[in-house]
Amino acid sequence: MPARQGQRAVPDDFRIVHLADVPEAIPILVRWFVEEWEPYYGPDGPGDAERDLTACCNRDELPVGLLALDGEGKVVGTAALKSESVETHRHLSPWLAALVVARDRRGERIGSVLVTAVEDEARRLGFDSLYVAEDSSSGIMPRQGWIPMKEGVPSLRDPMTIYRRDFSPRTP
Ligand SMILES: CC(C)(COP(=O)(O)OP(=O)(O)OC[C@H]1O[C@@H](n2cnc3c(N)ncnc32)[C@H](O)[C@@H]1OP(=O)(O)O)[C@@H](O)C(=O)NCCC(=O)NCCS
């Protein structure tokens, strides 16, 4: 797949695009969501992965879905900027959510690139901070400069930690 105008170049031949540009990727992502968040998106869970992903096909309003594509145009990761995420913390917004990297491509910094891309989207859309909820199986956020603000938040999987990323300039 040729790079489109305005696409961000990222290391190692990956590039980040809006999910809205490649909606045909949704069935792959639905499979990943069910694998990763089975209690929520599995057949017995309350979630609907296809509905949530379709809702993320926006560019300039939330929710905004992003995809990481490899040099051959294959989908290798996804993440989203959403107005809400954790049910118990609806007063916080916006959120980095739905971060998943293809199981056979983990450890190649694709997740880190996606986190940075969602931060860039949040800044582009005028937000001065961003939140994420991460469970202990991931461990990626503290390495990216995010500050933990609440631990032990219950979820359908393991307890989560909520992290905050602040973009506003520091006061002296
Ligand atoms: C979490 C996830 C997105 C990481 O993607 P990735 O492309 O493998 O991550 P990266 O290669 O960019 O790794 C970034 C850092 O996090 C660390 N890391 C990644 N996965 C980790 C894990 N499971 N446990 C502990 N540390 C981890 C890496 O060692 C790396 O550390 P470094 O910067 O010190 O080298 C991926 O494992 C995944 O899709 N997990 C399932 C879904 C999930 O848990 N999503 C997170 C919700 S917030």
Summarize pLDDT for 70-110 with one digit per residue, the tens.
999 999 999 999 999 988 899 999 999 999 999 999 999 99
Choice from 16, 130, 140 to test ligand 1 binding pocket (greatest atom count within 8 A of CB):
140
Give me the pLDDT at residue 171, please.
47
SS3 content of the chain, % helix, strand, coil (to 5): 30, 30, 40
Q: Determine the pLDDT at residue 5.
A: 44
**101 C-beta closer than 6 A to ligand 1:** yes
Edge-to-edge strand list for the sheet holding 129-135: 8-9, 15-18, 64-69, 75-82, 95-101, 129-135, 160-166, 147-153
Q: Average of pLDDT values for 162-172?
A: 77
Task: Report the separation in Å between the CA atom of 77 and the middle of ligand 1, taken as the mean of its atom positions.
Answer: 12
Q: What is the mean pLDDT of the chain?
A: 89
Confidence of residue 29 (pLDDT cuts 50, 70, 90): very high
* Nearest ligand 1 atom to alpha carbon 137: 23
Q: Is the distance from the beta carbon of residue 168 to the nearest atom of ligand 1 less than 6 Å?
A: no
pLDDT tens-digit map of 121-152: 999 999 999 999 998 777 788 777 799 999 99
Structural domains of the chain in order of their starting residue, each with its CATH number: 8-127 (3.40.630.30)
**Residues ≥6 apart with Cβ < 8 Å to 96:** 79, 80, 81, 115, 118, 119, 122, 130, 131, 132, 165
